[in-house]
Structure 1
Amino acid sequence: MICSLSGTAPNLQNITPPLPIDYHPVGRLDEHSHGLFIFSKDSRITDFMLSPGMEVERVYRIIVKGDVDSPPFPSIISQVSTGVKTSYGIYSGFITSYSRYNGVFEHEKCGVIGKRSDVMIDTKDKEYEKKEKEDEGIKSEVTIKVSEGKNRMVRRLFAHLNFPVLDLQRISYGPVTLPHNLKPGEWRIVSDEDVIEWEKVNMESWESRKKDRGNNKLKIS
């Protein structure tokens, strides 16, 4: 399913029950990702959540190819928190949990699993091949928190670190966390308790910043 409301491929109009009128998607997930997806009919909230300057937190659970119990991983956690320079830009985040993973995952049968499309141009092939041989068959689960939504950011970050992402699930975005009992393709209305205080605090800051920017544009020196 693609993050679009039109087209011939399975898209957001195929979710059940049907999406209420006037709602629009907040951001996107690529076709090989899954998890929490938010819809809104308030363009202010959408603009706020997508604004890089507001640093709205997203949390992802990913399955990677490689062994997080290997000695280099603690240093990788530190690198990610301070920022990793890749060919696509500098990416950073906070790894909140990690462990070996032996289970199945959503996109295990996906045709692009493990495809080196997100980077190995940043890494010497011999280094990658050596690590790939050492980690053959080993998978790990990592939870990472980021404050921006750059295109394929998490995949590119971990590919650069020689831990290609096999599966990516968004489990929270801003004040909303994915309910455990919500099945793929289903949706529910977010309760007021989930967002009212978050919206009050953050939207006031957002409106204040927009007002300041507007005032600055009117200044003549």
Structure 2
Amino acid sequence: MEQAAGIRLQKLLAQAGCASRRQAEVMIRAGRVAVNGLIVTDMGRKVLESDEVRLDGHTVRAGQSRHYYLLNKPVGVISSARDPRGRPTVVDLLSGVPVRVYPVGRLDFDTSGLLLLTDDGELAYRLTHPRYGVEKTYRVTLRQRVAPEALRALRTGIFLEDGKTAPARVRTAGRERECEIVEITIHEGRNRQVRRMFAALGYPVLKLERVRFGPIRLESTLKPGLFRVLNRREVEALRKITGLPAADVNED
């Protein structure tokens, strides 16, 4: 940590794995960060090693070992650390986890599947930033068969209200109880993007599940609502694809 001049508060929060610097600034503005017992909302505030920094009442320290979890998010749970409306959150499902971790990106309330949670703020930032192009694969359940021309459109890009989507990889994956199953892989992260892409082509999505995030795939043995710790090999694979060096991983 910088000594004489100190280190900017948002940088400390990022180094401690609480969030990316941009997300840390939002936390500071929201009055969630205190230094030596006083709420700080100033973006220019610098802190020293001797200062006590707390986020939501929890002590923050840089240089801690990082924690990484994979959760099979069920439908009906918010991809957030907390919800002002009191709805269940993904953090509520991590019973017994002794540290504060945050979801990497989000899955919609009505979408299930693979969600990563960590206190490694820089990795979380890179995994979700379009610049790094990390792929996510979704299993899509539709009421009807998808026409070949619709698959071609998905592979070249769909025009949505916020612009044309990047080309996706897509394949049909069979049928299940009279429904068509399609797997689609994208590297963007627009709001409700997969649902909007299929809806634009006239195919309302009945069910949506994320089954892969980068090199990490959701195994069938991890039932909805359950989670596990990522092992060192998995963490190194995530950090490698985003250009980060190996980290001190806590596998407890």
> Is this a same-fold pair by TM over 0.5?
yes
Distance (whole Å) between structure 1 residues aligned to residue 91 and residue 238 of structure 2: 29
| Worse overlay, 49-58 or 195-204 | 195-204
Is the 8 Å Cα contact of residues 17 and 187 (structure 1) preserved in structure 2? no
Aligned length: 166
What's the Cα RMSD here? 1.9
CA apart distance, 1:88: 3.5
CA apart distance, 1:65: 2.2
Is the 8 Å Cα contact of residues 114 and 210 (structure 2) preserved in structure 1? yes
Q: Which has the higher contact order (CA 8 A, sep 6+)?
A: 1
Matched with 2:129 is 51
Distance (whole Å) between structure 2 residues aligned to residue 62 and residue 19 of structure 1: 31
Is the 8 Å Cα contact of residues 15 and 185 (structure 1) preserved in structure 2? yes
Matched with 2:4 is none
CA apart distance, 1:192: 1.4
Correspondence 1:2 to 2:2: no
Matched with 1:202 is 242
The match for 1:146 among 186, 193, 208 is 186
Matched with 2:153 is 79
Is the 8 Å Cα contact of residues 61 and 142 (structure 1) preserved in structure 2? yes
Is the 8 Å Cα contact of residues 127 and 242 (structure 2) preserved in structure 1? no
Whichever residue aligns with residue 12 of structure 1, its letter is V
Q: Percent identity?
A: 31
Matching of residues 103-182 of structure 1 within 5 Å = 139-182=179-222
The match for 1:99 among 159, 164, 174 is 174
Q: Deviations over 1:129-162 (max 9, x none)?
A: xxxxxxxxx5211100001111000000000111
Correspondence 1:13 to 2:128: no
The match for 1:40 among 92, 100, 118 is 118
Matched with 1:89 is 163
Correspondence 1:190 to 2:230: yes
Whichever residue aligns with residue 211 of structure 2, its letter is I
Structure 1's unaligned 5+ residue stretches are 103-137, 206-221
Whichever residue aligns with residue 190 of structure 2, its letter is K
SS of the residue 1:46 aligns to:
helix
Whichever residue aligns with residue 161 of structure 1, its letter is L
* Gap change, CA 1:160 and 1:184, over 3 Å in 2: same
SS of the residue 2:151 aligns to:
helix
SS of the residue 2:172 aligns to:
strand
* Gap change, CA 1:143 and 1:39, over 3 Å in 2: same
| Worse overlay, 75-84 or 93-102 | 93-102
Distance (whole Å) between structure 1 residues aligned to residue 107 and residue 237 of structure 2: 26
Distance (whole Å) between structure 2 residues aligned to residue 4 and residue 147 of structure 1: 21
Normalized against structure 1, the TM-score is what? 0.69
| Worse overlay, 14-23 or 147-156 | 14-23
Q: Deviations over 1:177-219 (max 9, x none)?
A: 11211111111111112232452353259xxxxxxxxxxxxxx
Whichever residue aligns with residue 2 of structure 1, its letter is I
Whichever residue aligns with residue 58 of structure 1, its letter is K
More strand by share: 2
Is the 8 Å Cα contact of residues 61 and 170 (structure 1) preserved in structure 2? yes
Distance (whole Å) between structure 1 residues aligned to residue 241 and residue 162 of structure 2: 33
Is the 8 Å Cα contact of residues 59 and 172 (structure 1) preserved in structure 2? yes
